Amino acid sequence: MTIYLEQDKDKIIVKFNYSSKLVQLIRTIPGRKYEPDRKYWTVPLSARNNLLELFKNEKIIIDFPFSVTKTFQKTSEKIDTLFIDNKKAMESDLITNIITELKLKGYQNTTRKSYLGHIYRYLTYISQLIPYELVEKDPLIIKSNSKGLINELTHENLKTYIITLLDDDCSHSYVNQAISAINFFYKETINQDKKLQLDIKRPKKENKLPKVLSTQEIVKLFQAVDNLKYKTIFMLTYSGGLRVGEVVKLKLSDIDKDRKLICIRTGKGLKDRYTLLSATALNTLEKYMKIQHTSQWLFPGQSKNSHLTVRSVQKEFSKTRKKAGITKEVSIHSLRHSFATHLLEAGTDIRYIQELLGHKSTKTTQVYTHVTKKELTKINSPLDNLFD
């Protein structure tokens, strides 16, 4: 079992695939907390040494700087622990080249972060196969001129790594993205002469249905929001089927009050699109605008020069969902799923829904036909027929 550790302000984020044994261990740490929406645990930063001691028999991958955690580092010297110092890794030629290529190819910021994460983890795995240069016992430094690195980036090692992910019960979508990220790394960064030929078979995509809220649950959710800013965000998200990364980046100029439309600029896939602005959402937005004087972002963050973070919205949604008494384990993205499903149930043509959501293909939008109740409600269960 592999355990990933990341740092978030005064907490350590602990990620691992479900194991009753590991859950029992982490529950012994005072102040630990499980985040069901994000599917990870958090523990106080002060519990770092206790954390490593508890998991000393497991493989641990630590993905955050250790400049302020020398004690933590010394404690881990006798444990099967691999470090990636983000700052030093980012300064290396190799990582810089990856970031440059991702930007040149027009990948969005969220995709760039995901790809870098996958590449970090893959290089960490490779580092177990070869002796890396460690400078003054500092965390791992990835160097582009390492012959050992280039020699070990083989087709067979990649296959073994993918099998390791599957053995760790990683989702197929996660594994497929890992393959895409590593393919990009091979072809665009270290394989300019195209000598390395990768032909990795991808696991079949899981046919998971989107989690949808009923119209009654949507109403309960909106009624449970106390903060006008977040109520406006949730309403706009459901009104137009927005992604959370799109709603936080909205500007006043993106709102077309006369035509009742929202303009999403350079959304996923770098495509602009228009979607719906309901009269109800517009009314709430106008109330919000009377108290929020913004010059650029509709929902500014701590600084007026930056927009509200995605994480802030996710946290508020989780809190509101619980307050509304909604027991479904859903995230704010469920508002987008619910928007599409409810339109489909109301008889809207799927091609219009595809355009509103910004899907490249109707195949992506077709998934909502499997969760709509429109046709299912016309079917009687055979149990009911027994007592007619």
Asked if the model's pLDDT at residue 146 lies above 50, the reply is no
What average pLDDT score do residues 42-49 get?
84
Token duo for residue 284: 């709430």
What average pLDDT score do residues 25-36 get?
89
What average pLDDT score do residues 287-312 get?
84
The sheet carrying 273-276 orders its strands as 255-256, 261-264, 273-276
Residue 5 bridge partners (DSSP): 14, 62
The predicted pLDDT at position 281 comes to: 95
The tally of CA atoms less than 13 A away on the side-chain side of residue 95 is 23
The predicted pLDDT at position 100 comes to: 84
Buried-state track 217-249, b at ≥16 Cβ within 10 A, e below 16: bbebbbebbeeebbbbbbbbbbbbbbbbebbbb
Q: E strand or H helix at 5, and its extent?
A: strand 2-8
* Alpha-helical segments (H) within the chain: 20-26, 48-54, 70-75, 86-91, 93-104, 109-127, 147-152, 155-167, 172-184, 215-224, 228-240, 244-247, 279-291, 310-323, 333-345, 350-357, 362-365, 382-386
How far apart are alpha carbons 142 and 380 in whole angstroms? 62
Asked if the model's pLDDT at residue 80 lies above 60, the reply is no
pLDDT in tens, 166-182: 777 777 888 888 888 88
Residue 60 bridge partners (DSSP): 3, 81
Asked if the model's pLDDT at residue 149 lies above 80, the reply is no
How far apart are alpha carbons 15 and 22 in whole angstroms? 11
Enter the DSSP assignment of 190.
Answer: I
| Residues belonging to the active site | 243, 268, 333, 336, 359, 368
Specify the higher pLDDT residue, 176 or 120.
176
Confidence of residue 197 (pLDDT cuts 50, 70, 90): low
Confidence of residue 44 (pLDDT cuts 50, 70, 90): confident
What are the phi and psi torsion angles at 209 (to 5°)? Answer: -80, 145
How far apart are alpha carbons 228 and 226 in whole angstroms? 6
| Per CATH, domain 215-370 is 1.10.443.10 | yes
Quote the Cα angle for 58-62-66, to 5°.
130
Confidence of residue 244 (pLDDT cuts 50, 70, 90): very high
Q: Find the distance separating the first CA and the last CA of the chain, reported in whole Å.
A: 54
- Answer whether 326's CB lies under 8 Å from 220's CB: yes
Question: Where do the structural domains in the chain lie, given as residue ranges?
Answer: 2-190, 215-370
- Answer whether 281's CB lies under 8 Å from 235's CB: yes
pLDDT in tens, 205-225: 656 778 899 999 999 999 999
The long-range contacts involving 255-259, CB below 8 angstroms and separated by at least 24 positions, are 255/282, 255/285, 255/298, 257/282
Enter the DSSP assignment of 241.
Answer: T
The sheet carrying 11-15 orders its strands as 33-35, 40-44, 11-15, 2-8, 59-62, 81-83
Asked if the model's pLDDT at residue 107 lies above 80, the reply is yes
What average pLDDT score do residues 313-319 get?
94
Asked if the model's pLDDT at residue 67 lies above 60, the reply is no
Helix (H, G, I), strand (E, B) or coil at 67: coil
From residue 224, alpha-carbon distances to 214, 221, 237, 282 in Å are 15, 5, 16, 19
Q: What percentage of residues in the chain have a pLDDT greater than 90? A: 28
Nearest alpha-carbon partner for 61 in 123, 117, 2: 2
What average pLDDT score do residues 14-43 get?
86
